[in-house]
Amino acid sequence: MQPLGIEQDPEGRQLAVAAEVLYLINMLPAPGLGFLVLLWLYFRNRQAAPALAACHLWQAVMVSLWAGVLIGLVAILILMLEGLREPIAWMAMILYVLCIHSAFILFGVVALVKAMAGEPYRYPLIGPRCATCRPG
C-alpha cells in the first residue's frame, strides 16, 4: 500500500533508512559521532532527496536535537536544583534519563520500521511536521 504523495523509489527509502539508523546510532553506541554523520547526510541530501527521505532526514535531525536537550539539560537541571550530594537527586536524575532515553529509542525503532516500509513517520509530541509528508 502506497502512502499519499510519496512515490515508491528504493533510493528514497534507502536514504530514509540511513537517517533512522544514524539516529539510533546517535542514541545508542556512538552519541555525537552518529549525530555528526546524520548532519552530514542531511546537509548533503536535503535539496535533492525524495519526499520520503527528506521527511525522515528532517525528523531524525530535529529529534536528535530535542533528545540532547531533554536528556542532557534536564538531567543537569535536576542535579542543580536538588544538589549534587542529595541521593534523591541522583535517583530522580537516573530514573528520568532511563525513561526518556528508552522512549527515544523506542520511537526511533518505530521510525526505522516505517522507513523500511517506505512510509513517513512523525515522532510523537516533538517531531516536526514535514511539508512534503502526509501521514498515510
Residue 3 located in a structural domain: no
CA dihedral sign, ordered 120, 118, 19, 45: negative
Residue 122 located in a structural domain: no
Q: Which of 118, 111, 97, 103 is nearest to 58 (CA)?
A: 111
pLDDT of the chain along its 136 residues, tens only?
A: 455 444 556 668 999 999 999 999 999 999 999 999 999 999 999 899 998 999 999 999 999 999 999 999 999 999 899 888 889 999 999 999 999 999 999 999 999 999 999 998 999 888 777 765 544 3
Residue 64 located in a structural domain: yes
The residue range of the domain holding 29 is 10-116
Residue 126 located in a structural domain: no
Domain count, the chain: 1
Residue 121 located in a structural domain: no
With beta carbons less than 8 A apart as the criterion, state whether 38 and 19 touch: yes
